[in-house]
């Protein structure tokens, strides 16, 4: 059986396919907009996404998936927003703020769309097959500027390459262990403020950050383990990088370079208002 799988993989690679034969079915969102109908990213309007977030997401980032899925008009509104994102182009003069806002919104909107397609569910991990079957992070893809982007590609090939580690406190994988889903769209004019506010909210959550000043210890979300290199090459550098966003009484410890750092468990439970009110 293992030999057969290898033959199937090699056959597809030889034929020019990028994906192995046993990968999950690709789900394409948006549309491959003709070149002449695309528009610069700074003309993309995030107002629809903003209105949906305000309607269905609370201040803690928990989502009312049940009500959202029950609304045909708002399901359609999200689909139309994703189609609107498909029309974006990125001329050389596109600002970093515009690109950050666009791709953070795209990542979060695609994630919500993916969960709504599966809801009711208890975790995004229920839809992340390792070998056989559908993997939401790889198989759910949004066309942008004529190319399909998976969630993995948006995160690793676009956002992380922008050298802004605060993205890790803004993009949301529909889990309680993630940063909160901000209940407004990111926009270029205030993205720096929005990233700062959400980073501060992240570290104010004891499920993601704890410290003992006397014991000189910090316990932090494993996001800082998985993506530590985005914050610095050493643990001390990483702690100094997050110091401006941690609670004020923890900043000296984070800046000291002397803290012992451990990583908390990650909660993969769905960021679902229905679950949080039970």
Distances from the Cα of 53 to the Cα of 48, 74, 148, 168, 190, angstroms: 9, 11, 24, 19, 17
Helices marked H in the chain? 2-14, 47-56, 65-70, 72-86, 96-118, 136-139, 151-153, 191-204, 223-226, 235-242, 251-256, 273-276
Phi, psi of 179 (to 5 degrees): -60, 160
Euclidean distance between CA atoms 187 and 62, whole angstroms: 21
Low-confidence ranges of the chain (pLDDT < 70): 1-23, 276-278
Spell out the long-range contacts of 89-92 with Cβ–Cβ below 8 A and sequence spacing 24 or more.
89/38, 89/39, 89/40, 89/41, 89/145, 90/40, 90/41, 90/145, 91/40
The predicted-structure confidence for 124-168, as pLDDT tens digits, reads as follows 999 999 888 999 999 999 999 999 999 999 999 999 999 999 999
User: What are the boundaries of each domain within the chain?
Assistant: 27-201, 204-263
Q: 46 CB contacts (<8 Å, ≥6 apart)? A: 81, 101, 105, 185, 186, 187
**Structure confidence by residue, pLDDT tens digits, 14-25:** 333 344 434 579
pTM for this prediction: 0.91
State pLDDT tens for residues 257-269: 999 999 999 999 9
pLDDT at 276: 62
């Amino acid at each position: 059986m293992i030999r057969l799988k290898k033959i199937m993989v090699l056959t597809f690679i030889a034929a020019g396919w990028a994906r192995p034969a046993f990968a999950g079915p690709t789900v394409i969102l948006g549309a491959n907009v003709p070149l002449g109908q695309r528009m610069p990213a700074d003309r993309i309007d995030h107002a629809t996404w903003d209105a949906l977030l305000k309607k269905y997401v609370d201040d803690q980032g928990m989502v009312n998936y049940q009500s959202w899925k029950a609304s045909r008009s708002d399901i359609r509104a999200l689909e139309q927003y994703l189609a609107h994102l498909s029309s974006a182009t990125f001329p050389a003069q596109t600002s970093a703020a515009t690109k950050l806002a666009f791709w953070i919104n795209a990542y979060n909107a695609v994630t919500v769309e993916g969960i709504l397609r599966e809801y009711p569910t208890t975790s995004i991990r229920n839809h992340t097959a390792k070998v056989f079957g559908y993997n939401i992070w790889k198989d759910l893809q949004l066309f942008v500027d004529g190319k399909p982007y998976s969630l993995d590609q948006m995160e690793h090939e676009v956002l992380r390459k922008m050298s802004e580690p605060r993205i890790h406190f803004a993009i949301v994988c529909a889990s309680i262990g993630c940063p909160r889903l901000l209940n407004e769209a990111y926009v270029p004019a205030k993205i720096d403020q929005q990233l700062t506010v959400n980073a501060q909210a992240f570290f104010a959550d004891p499920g993601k950050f704890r410290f003992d000043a006397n014991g000189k210890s910090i316990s932090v979300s494993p996001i800082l383990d998985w993506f530590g290199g985005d914050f610095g090459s050493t643990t001390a550098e990483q702690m100094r990088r997050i110091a401006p966003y941690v609670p004020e009484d923890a900043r000296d410890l984070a800046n000291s370079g002397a803290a012992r750092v451990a990583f908390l468990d990650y909660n993969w439970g769905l960021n679902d208002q229905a679950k949080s009110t039970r």
